[in-house]
Structure 1
Amino acid sequence: MATNDMDIEETARSTQANLNYLLPGPDINRRFVSAGVEVNTGRYGPYPTTIRDGRTIRGHFSFDKHGFQLLDAPTSVADFRDTAEVEAKYKDEVRNAVQRAYGADLVVATGWMLRTSGAIPTADAADAADAANSKPYRHYGGLQPAAGEVHVDTEPSRQLAAARRAYDQARPGGPGFKRFIISSFWRTFSTPPQDCPLAVCDARSVRHDEGTPNVLWVVDKIPTGDDMFAPMDDDAQLAAAIFQYNPDHRWWYFSAMTRDEALLFKFHDSDRSVGWRTPHTAFWDSSFHDAKVRESIECRSIAFFE
């Protein structure tokens, strides 16, 4: 890291928090997701970590160096809990904002999800049964808890094929692409300061060889015990990358984000000569005595450079 970068970054306020990293454990790593519940087979342990607040130096961060930036991103969505309104407006907003931020030729917004650090309402048994019988749960447009472990939502070896599928669907017969970036566009819409914000890891502090695949299974009912490790076609599923503790990791967040700001950070950049992925996790921030429940929306996208 350049000396001037270090000098600027050391001016930032910092806080201490425990981040959950992957511990030694089973060779099979899976994340089971159902309505309002996420369960990992891997074991995670808390590691005391310094997390710096980039609020006062927000202009210092760049996608190519750090893998993330805090953007001014006004939104026309009045109620992010209104699924119909989000569906009608938000993907277009994200698509336009990501295209401006990266200077990409094409951006495909894929899916969105709400998260909260507070309690998640549960339907009664009859309502839950009706929902399960009418259609399977999808990891899209629902409400989930804040992500509690250090991860990246994409596993590198599977992303070129995913990008090709998305490009061919969005641009049939197009000229093709030379580079693609898969990202998350993350916005908190609850009153600041939030009790459980998102921390992102400086891409320069992450080695290329780090990360263990964690296979995503969206299920109606979370399995238990040995059933979590039963033979399954993991190779055909989406997967994230989960991380073991590395003291070189350098963590950042932006305190007291408003609903007209968004944190754009990379899951996967096909150009690995720059900062190409950003591990991240939620954490409990003890900096503010008046912190409020965090409610947020994340929208994933793929940016293409033709």
Structure 2
Amino acid sequence: MSHAADLIADSLVAPINFASPRMREVETFVVSNFEPEKTTLVVEEQAVPIRDARLLAPAASYQREGFELHHVPVENPRWTDDAWIQSSYLPVLRDLALRITGGAEAVTFPGSWVIRDTAGNGAAPAAAFAHMDRERESCREIIRNNVDEAIRTRYPRFEMINFWRALSPPPHDVPLAICDQRTIAPGDWLVGETREPNMRFQVKHMAAVYNPDNRWYYYSSLSPDELIAFKNHDDDPARLPGCLHGAFRDPTVHGGVPRVSLETRFYVFHES
């Protein structure tokens, strides 16, 4: 049964781009942020009820819906300074990643954080379609190339957590929509690949077709002191896979400042 009807009363209805069902007939597809002429993914727009997660009671949980909100203010941030991010910002997120997931070790590395700017300005644009950032084998390849063997061989399971922060003040013209991981079906996925100038090897990418049973959420009026933590991948196929997500244009915002955001991924390793 579709969940759309019971969400419309406390939702905005906005378009989200989904992979066209015709893409099921294609062997693979390409997505590229910085070289859009390489993109072969065909998308179709669907009007979707997107509920304000601030209204949820109890509040959304990383372990249940797959996402949750945290208040994490940062003093004197230097978001475009990689050295500052590594010395001052990442340690805070590492501790938060372990606390949220219950993991034993959390690792990140250059290339795992990116600034996006809906106005362009030399940054990556918003990823304006429903997707998961990484597919299982690509996650394992990334781990093999970037994580010490002692960590890789010690822990039997890993997951990827994404910390998403709006750097610009609200209201945001293009917020982030996140799908409750419990409402995602295996048939929603399509696997292609990401190609960017700075990528050293092929990275498989997961887009999704429209499913009316998906439950979509966003957080209204996110401040730069808040961040969304959401599950981006779980290496254990018996567990919930993580959250589809994607940018959407908020039809209620007119003349807002173009949204600038920072997303930071950690690979979290578990004892079991």
Unaligned runs of 5+ in 2: none
1:265 corresponds to 2:230: yes
Q: What residue in structure 1 maps to residue 267 of structure 2?
A: 302
1:218-243 deviation per Cα after TM superposition (whole angstroms, max 9, x unaligned)? 238xxxxxxxxxxxxxxx62111011
Match of 2:248 in 1: 283
Q: How does 1:127-276 map to 2 (within 5 A)?
A: 143-163=123-143, 166-169=146-149, 172=150, 176-219=154-197, 237-276=202-241
Identify unmatched segments of 5+ residues in structure 1. Answer: 122-142, 221-235
CA–CA separation in structure 1 for the residues paired with 2:126 and 2:37: 10
Q: Any residues of structure 2 matched to 1:87-98 within 5 Å, and which? A: 87-98=86-97
Partner of 1:144: helix, strand, or coil? Answer: coil
Aligned residues: CA RMSD:
2.7
Cα displacement (A) at 1:80: 1.6
Q: Give 1:128's aligned residue.
A: none
Contact 2:131 2:245 in 1 (8 A): yes
SS at match of 1:300: strand
Contact 1:64-1:276 at 8 Å conserved across structures:
no
State whether residues 12 and 57 of structure 1, in contact with CA within 8 Å, keep that contact through their aligned partners in structure 2: no
Deviation at 1:293, TM superposition (A): 1.5
Q: TM-score scaled to structure 2, two decimals?
A: 0.85
Q: Write the mapping of 1:60-99 to structure 2, written as runs, cut at 5 A.
A: 60-99=59-98
* 2:52 alignment partner in structure 1: 53
**Amino-acid identity (%):** 29
Deviation at 1:249, TM superposition (A): 1.1
Count of aligned residue pairs for this structure pair: 261
Contact 2:19–2:210 (8 Å) recurs in 1 = yes
Amino acid at match of 2:79: F
Determine the structure 2 residue equivalent to 1:31. Answer: 31
Q: 2:8·2:49 contact (CA, 8 Å) conserved in 1?
A: no
Counterpart Cα distance in 1 of 2:49 and 2:76: 34
Q: Helix, strand or coil for the counterpart of 2:154? A: coil
In structure 1, distance between residues paired with 2:255 and 2:210? 31
Amino acid at match of 1:243: A
